[in-house]
Amino acid sequence: MGHRLVDASAPARLAAPDEGIGRDELALATRNHGLPLEALRYDVTPPGLHYVLTHYDIPYVAEDQPWHLIVGGRVRRPLELDLAALRAFPEVTTRVTLECAGNGRALLTPRPVSQPWLVEAVGTAEWTGVPLRLLLAEAGVEPDAVDVVFTGADHGVERGVEQDYQRSLPVDVATGTEPEVLVAYAMNGGPLPPQHGHPLRLIVPGWYGMAHVKWLREVAVTDVPFTGFQQTVAYRLRQDAGDEGEPVTRIDPRALLVPPGFPDFMSRARVVRPGQVPLEGRAWSGRAPVTGVEVSTDAGHTWRRAELEPADGRRWAWRRWHLTWDASPGEHVLSARATDSEGHTQPLDQPWNRGGFAVNLVQRVPVLCLEGDGTDPAGQPAYASRQ
């Protein structure tokens, strides 16, 4: 008897009430790491601190291994381009904030069992490459084109379905300029690192991570809607496993705080001293430009407008915001909430969906403010006086 994986297209499992994070989720979490939240301070995320999500294995591609990108399907002139041929096209660099569609999943009840992100599946990089629309123009898209399908070099099994990682975009998005989709060969001025798609990946500014196909080897124009697993089974907003569901597309607005003060090792709870505490963070939205960030230091009862730094024309990158908090001894809960120019904002009570996608619940950051004399609020000697 062969070993059975899971039934083909079995729905993802929901955790039982009070079921802790299991070994399967731990195994995913150790491979797919998040952004340490203190790194929200950087405009561009330093190498190695950008979050990573890979469904299967990172393909091994030797430094000097030839790589060809095929552009085919419903086109007049199919192309096969090596990296030198791609570099001969006009080069564009765009600063883009990427966020995994599953960010926030582990905060849901019941918890969809998958990569258990809290809020840290985000990062910002400068991506350099060729606008996809130029490659498609060179190939000559046929008038009956509907979708453009992107195939990565990675291969695996997901809920019983063996597959190459594949995603599609509607042809008008693939050939559009708002956003301008890139076939990227560089990240932050250097070759793509293995975990981020070496040597080629798609960048779809403003869309959740699943659209940004890594280890890109084929672009295929189709005259029928693409129905691959990652398009019609995964990445849909559903209440019940049997629902058709809405596709997950653009990034909903979110603001995150750089955790203030210093952390407790195990709980990660924050500790500050009384007085003026600088608060800062980042805000982004793939739907429309961020227009405001509000901060609460009293668990969401009252809100103050933060100072939002200029976007400098970088539509697809997160923006820094800051404000000062006059902290008094005791326990506090800090939150930040972003709103964009179309009025999209973040919920205080998160609507639930079965895959745990597009969760943008307002972040809650518990903070303990010590007494000025270094005791804790109960009058016990606190950290400052301990050796």
Ligand X SMILES: Nc1nc2c(c(=O)[nH]1)N[C@H]1C(S)=C(S)[C@@H](COP(=O)(O)O)O[C@H]1N2
Instruction: Verify binding: residue 259, ligand X, rule CB under 6 A.
Output: no
Site for ligand X in 97-126 (CB under 6 A): 98, 100
What is the contact surface with Mo ion in residues (CB under 5 A)? 53, 100, 209-210
Residue 267 DSSP SS3: coil
Instruction: Report the distance separating Cα 87 and Cα 287, nearest Å.
Output: 30
Instruction: Verify binding: residue 53, ligand X, rule CB under 6 A.
Output: yes
Q: Are 191 and 169 in contact (CB under 8 A)?
A: no
DSSP structural state of residue 118: S
Q: Nearest-CA neighbor of 50 among 165, 153, 193, 183?
A: 193
CB of 77 to ligand X, least distance (A): 26
Q: Which does 354 bind (CB under 5 to 8 A by kind): ligand X, Mo ion, none?
A: none
Instruction: Report the distance separating Cα 382 and Cα 335, nearest Å.
Output: 25
Query: Residue with CB nearest Mo ion?
Result: 100
Q: Which residue in the set 215, 226, 325, 357 belongs to the binding site for ligand X (CB under 6 A)?
A: 215
CB closer to ligand X, 209 vs 245: 209
Q: Which residue in the set 74, 196, 217, 282 belongs to the binding site for ligand X (CB under 6 A)?
A: 196
CB closer to ligand X, 215 vs 316: 215
CB of 54 to ligand X, least distance (A): 5
Q: Which residue in the set 104, 116, 206, 209 belongs to the binding site for ligand X (CB under 6 A)?
A: 209
DSSP-derived pairing of the beta strands 69-73 and 216-222: parallel
CB of 216 to ligand X, least distance (A): 7
CB of 51 to Mo ion, least distance (A): 9
CB of 55 to ligand X, least distance (A): 3
Determine phi and psi for 230, rounding to 5 degrees. -70, -10
CB closer to ligand X, 120 vs 294: 120
Q: Which residue in the set 74, 105, 214, 320 belongs to the binding site for ligand X (CB under 6 A)?
A: 214
Q: Nearest-CA neighbor of 138 among 198, 200, 90, 192?
A: 90
DSSP string, 288-334: S-EEEEEEESSTTSS-EEPEEPP-TT-TTS-EEEEEEEEE-SEEEEE
| The residue to which tokens 């190939």 are assigned | 139
Instruction: Report the distance separating Cα 87 and Cα 94, nearest Å.
Output: 16
Instruction: Verify binding: residue 254, ligand X, rule CB under 6 A.
Output: no
Number of residues forming the site for ligand X (CB under 6 A): 19
Instruction: Verify binding: residue 52, ligand X, rule CB under 6 A.
Output: yes
Q: Which residue in the set 154, 218, 340, 371 belongs to the binding site for ligand X (CB under 6 A)?
A: 154
| C-alpha to C-alpha distances, 271 to 238, 260, 331, 374, nearest whole angstrom | 39, 8, 9, 11
Q: Which does 54 bind (CB under 5 to 8 A by kind): ligand X, Mo ion, none?
A: ligand X
For 296, the token pair is 């609460």
Where does this chain bind ligand X (CB under 6 A)?
50-55, 98, 100, 152, 154, 165, 195-196, 209-210, 212-215
